[in-house]
Copies of this chain bind each other. A is one copy, B any other.
Amino acid sequence: MILLVHGDREYLREPGDELHTDLGVVEIPEDVESGDTLETHLGEAFRARELRGPDLFNHLERTGAPMMPRDIGLVIGHTGASAGDRVLDAGTGTGILAAYLGRLGAEVTTYEQDAEFAEVARDNMAVAGVDDTVEVRTGDITEEIDVLADGEPFDLLTLDTEDAPEVVADAADLLAYGGYLAVYSPFVENSRASVEAAEAAGLADIETVETIQRELTVDDRGTRPSTAGVGHTGYLTFARR
């Protein structure tokens, strides 16, 4: 899939397809490359652009509020997620975290309880170009833990689901030695429960962080933090086996 961009307008299309808009029709070559300029039959120019991570926020189908770029980034920064990592993820949701992890070369297995959401997430992985490395499983991870624990251990366990504390309790059986756990939760109580479960599970380096991010506004009158404010997204709890 590739984006066709004209000013603020972006359209996601397959190479080989046609794009029909009020600006005219564009035939998209099979061998279109990022940066190519394509002209409509009315002479308007579109520019082809490969999707990068941040584009996923605009072009994946959402089945809920996706994790934000900053939180995805913090998960990666605090756990060192990298190419070759085996990742176990639950609740997939829109799948943006899974897609980011897939795009940096990790092999991801992700659980989504809602079958329709899982189907959307599979399509999203194709759009993100990671359908070969991210496997979206329909199901409840808490029911699969024994099976998962018997398999090859994971380098990273990422949880964005209400029953995270229940999974954290078994994290030591799921993680490789030195592997990381990351739990995202909007709520204090749930984060606390994950911390307590991580302590009970004997994990190390347990910490919960909250992150406040503000935009800096630059104009002729001066520089200042934005008056708009950025609200809370979620706490992130990290731990290591």
Contact = CB atoms under 8 A, between A and B. Distances in A.
Interface stretch (A13-21, A22-30, A49-57, A110-118): A49-57
Interface string A1-19: 0010000000000000000
What's the number of copies of this chain in the assembled complex? 4
A186 to B, nearest CB: 5
A105 B83 contact: yes
Interface in A28-66: 34-35, 47, 49-50, 52-56
A191 interface: yes
Interface stretch (A87-95, A141-149, A164-172, A230-238): A230-238
Contact of A71 (B50, B75, B77, B180): B77
A136 interface: no
Given A74-B73, A77-B72, A187-B224, A49 B233 contact: no
A194 to B, nearest CB: 10
Nearest to A232: B225
A225 B215 contact: no
A208 interface: yes
A76 B79 contact: no
Contacts of A196: 218
Contact of A52 (B53, B180, B191, B224): B180
B78 A187 contact: no
A184 interface: no
B223 A231 contact: no
Nearest to A54: B80
Most interface-central of A196, A218, A227, A228 (chain B CB within 10 A): A218
Interface of A: 3, 34-35, 47, 49-50, 52-56, 68-83, 100, 103-105, 155, 176-178, 180, 186-192, 195-196, 207-216, 218, 221-233, 235
Given A74-B77, A76-B76, A189-B223, 7 more contacts: A35-B178, A68-B77, A69-B80, A77-B77, A208-B215, A209-B215, A229-B232
